[in-house]
Chain A
Amino acid sequence: MDLQQLHQIQPYLWTFPLKSGESRKEVLLYGGRALLESMDDKVLEQITHVASLPGLVGAAMTMPDAHWGYGFPIGGVAAFDAEQGGVISAGGVGFDISCGIRCLRSNLNLQDVKPHLSTLAERLFRVIPAGVGEEGFLKLDTKQLDQVLLGGARWAVQQGYGSEADLEFIEELGCMAGAVPANVSELAKKRQRGEMGTLGSGNHYLEVQVVDRIFDTVTAQAFGLQEGQIIISIHCGSRGLGHQIGTEYLVSMAKAAARCGIHLPDRELACAPIKSPEGQQYIGAMNAGINCALANRQILTHLTRETFMEVFPNSELETLFDVSHNTCKLEKHDVEGKSRVLHVHRKGATRAFGAGHASLPERYRAVGQPVIVGGSMGTGSYILAGNRDNPAFASASHGAGRALSRHQALARWHGKQVIGELAQQGILIRSRSMRGVAEEAPGAYKDIDLVAETTEQARLARRVAFLKPLACIKG
C-alpha cells in the first residue's frame, strides 16, 4: 500500500482523506508503517467501499493484520445503526460465520508433555476430524440440528460434551440469542449433518502450545497462565452450514440492496437494511450459524480432553476463553459521549472488551477479555487482553494475516519440506493435505510479533502471553 495517499494521525493510526466530491464516512487504518506498506492496495479499496455503506457510525476501520478479503477486507470493523438506515452485510461477516478460537489451559507443563508429544500428536490426529472430506462421529437429523442452532455450546454440554464451567468462558455464555433455524436452508442443514465436531481445512488447526513468555503478570495470573504451561488452541468455525448460509444470503442480499436503492461499489458488499425483511432473516440465520460454530468448538474441546486423558490420565483442560472473529453482533458503545446500540461487523477481527465490561466472566472482569491472536504453525500465537479505552468498537487483530497468496506459497514450498523443517525445530505437524501445509507455511504469513506489538501500540489490546507451537493438527 502506498502510504503517501494516507494521512498519519497518530503513530499507529492512519486515515484516508476524502477526495473532492466523495461521499463517505472516515476510513481508519490501525498499524505501523511496515505492516501498512506490506498490505495489498485492495485493503484500502475495500475498506473505502465499506465507508460508503448507509448507516455507518464513526469510521470503517482495519486492524493491523488486515489483508485483502472479499467485499470487506479481512481485519475489517464497521458498526451500523439500525435507526439510521444501517445495514447488515453477509460479506461483512464472512462465509465461515463465527470462525474463532477456543483456548484451553492445562494443568500440564512442557516437561510433562515433551516426552509424549509424538504420541499425543498422533492420537489427536486420529481423533480430530480434519481436512477436506472428513466427517465427525455425530450424525444429526434436521430436528437435532435445529436444537444445535438454538442452543450452541449449551446444547453440546447438555449432550455430555463438556461441562457447565465451559459456558462461562464462551462469548454469549455459549448460546447466541436470536437464532432462527427456520431461516437456514435445508441444503445448509444437510451439509452440516456429518460436520459437527470437525475442524475443516484451510487455516484451521488444533495446536498444542507452550506459554513461552509472559508480558503482563497480573493479567496472566487472572487468565491462569504461567510460563511453561501447556495450552491448546482450536481454530475453526461453523463449517458447511455457515458456508451455505453465507453463499445463499450473499446473492439474496445483493438483490435486496439493488431493490432498496443501496449502491454497492462491489457486489460482495451485499447488504440489506437491518430493519428490512432480508436483513432480519439474515440476522436470524447468522445467529444460528454462530451457535453452530460454538457447538462445534465445544465438541472438539470434548474430543481433545478425551485424547489428553488417554495420554495424561491426570490432565485437566479448562476453557480459558472462546472468541469468534467473523461475526456481526448487537452491542452498546459510547459514541461521542452517547451510548448507542450498534450492529458491529467484525470480519477477521476479534472482539476485545475491556475491564469492567458486564459480559465478561467475573474472573476476567478486572483485567479485560482474553483476545486470542492465532499465528502460523511455525511462529506462535498471542493472548492479549482487551483495553477499556479501545478506540475501535472494542475490536483487535485476529491473526498474523497472510503475506503471500496461496499460489505464491505453493510455488515456494512443498508440504513435506515444511513439515521436515518444522520437525527440526521441535514442532510436529500432522495433516492429510501436503498442499494445505505448503499453503499455510509459516513464511506465507506476516510477522505475528509485529502484529501483536502493533495491536498493543495502537491501544487495541495489550499483550499478555506468547504461545509457542509444539504440535499442530492441520485441516
Chain B
Amino acid sequence: MNECVWFKNTKMMSHYFEHDADVGIIGRGSTVEQAFESAAEAVFAIVTNLEAVQPDISVAFEFAEEDLEFALVTWLNLLLGKARELGMVFCRFRIHRQGNLWQAEALGGKWHADLEHGIEVKGATLTMLSVKQIGTIWEARCIVDV
C-alpha cells in the first residue's frame, strides 16, 4: 500500500494512503489525542486548503466511547456533521480523553465561495481502521468516503 503526502497541511503534514474510490487518511502524534487531531486535519485538507481558513469560530462538543478505533470514527464523523450543520470548515483541532469521555474543540470559519473547492468528505468508515502505537508514535488511520 502506497503512502503519500497528498495535500500539504499547516503544521503536521497529514498523510494519506491509496484506495480505489475513496481516500485513506493517516494522523500521527506523540499521543493518541495528537494522532486524532492530525487525522482530522487530514480529513479537512481534502475539503479545502486549510491555510486559507481563519480559526475564528470555536465549536466544542464531547462524546463517550471506550473503543479507541470507534472513537476515531466518531470524532471524525462528528466533526464532519458539525461542519455541515454550521456551514463551516474546520482547520484546527483539539481533543482530550478522560477515561471513556472525549472532550473536543474545533476551530474554523464559515464556508465561503473564495475558499478552494476540494472534495466533500461524506464520512469516516471502519475500513482499514486502526489506532495503534508504533514505538513512540501513535498512528490513527481509516478510509474516508468521498
Contact = CB atoms under 8 A, between A and B. Distances in A.
Interface of A: 40, 42, 67-71, 74, 91, 94-96, 131-133, 135, 187-188, 190-191, 193-195, 200-202, 240, 243-244, 246-248, 250-251, 254-255, 266-268, 270, 402, 405-408, 410, 431-436, 439, 475
B2 to A, nearest CB: 8
B81 A133 contact: no
Given A133-B117, A202-B146, A243 B21 contact: no
B55 to A, nearest CB: 17
Nearest to B21: A402
Contacts of B125: 70-71, 91, 95, 250, 268
Contacts of B118: 132, 433, 435-436
Interface stretch (B12-20, B32-40, B92-100, B131-139): B12-20
A467 to B, nearest CB: 22
29 contacts: A68-B20, A69-B21, A70-B125, A70-B145, A71-B126, A94-B145, A131-B117, A132-B117, A132-B120, A133-B117, A191-B81, A191-B85, A201-B117, A243-B122, A244-B77, A246-B145, A247-B80, A248-B77, A251-B70, A251-B73, A251-B74, A255-B70, A268-B126, A402-B20, A406-B23, A407-B2, A407-B6, A408-B18, A436-B119
B18 A407 contact: yes
A433 B87 contact: no
A432 B22 CA distance: 20
A371 B63 CA distance: 43
Given A68-B21, A132-B117, A246 B85 contact: no
Contacts of A195: 84
A70 B126 contact: yes
Contacts of A402: 20-21
Contacts of A96: 122, 145
Contacts of B2: 407
Given A40-B20, A69-B21, A247 B73 contact: yes
Interface size class of B (residues with CB under 8 A): 35 or more
Contacts of B146: 201-202, 406
Given A132-B47, A251-B70, A406-B146, A243 B85 contact: no
Contact of A407 (B16, B73, B78, B123): B16
B119 A439 contact: yes
Given A202-B120, A247-B77, A407-B16, A70 B143 contact: yes
B115 interface: yes
Contacts of A95: 122-123, 125, 145
Given A40-B20, A133-B117, A71 B127 contact: yes
Contacts of B19: 68, 405-406
A187 B83 CA distance: 11
Given A132-B47, A133-B111, A240-B84, A201 B126 contact: no
B4 interface: yes
Given A67-B20, A69-B21, A268-B126, 18 more contacts: A70-B126, A94-B145, A133-B111, A133-B113, A201-B146, A202-B146, A243-B122, A247-B81, A405-B18, A407-B4, A407-B23, A431-B117, A432-B113, A433-B117, A434-B117, A436-B118, A436-B119, A439-B119
Interface string B103-122: 00000000111011111101
Contact of A187 (B85, B115, B126, B129): B85
A70 B22 contact: yes
A347 to B, nearest CB: 11
Nearest to B85: A190
Q: Give the 8 A-B CB pairs with smallest separation, nearest first.
A: A70-B127, A433-B117, A133-B111, A201-B120, A247-B123, A247-B77, A432-B117, A243-B122
Among B73, B87, B117, the one with the most A-chain Cβ atoms within 10 Å of its Cβ is B117
A310 to B, nearest CB: 23
B73 A201 contact: no
Contact of A267 (B48, B111, B126): B126
A148 B59 CA distance: 29
Contacts of A40: 20
A67 B89 CA distance: 30
A99 to B, nearest CB: 10
B140 interface: no
B43 interface: no
A265 to B, nearest CB: 12
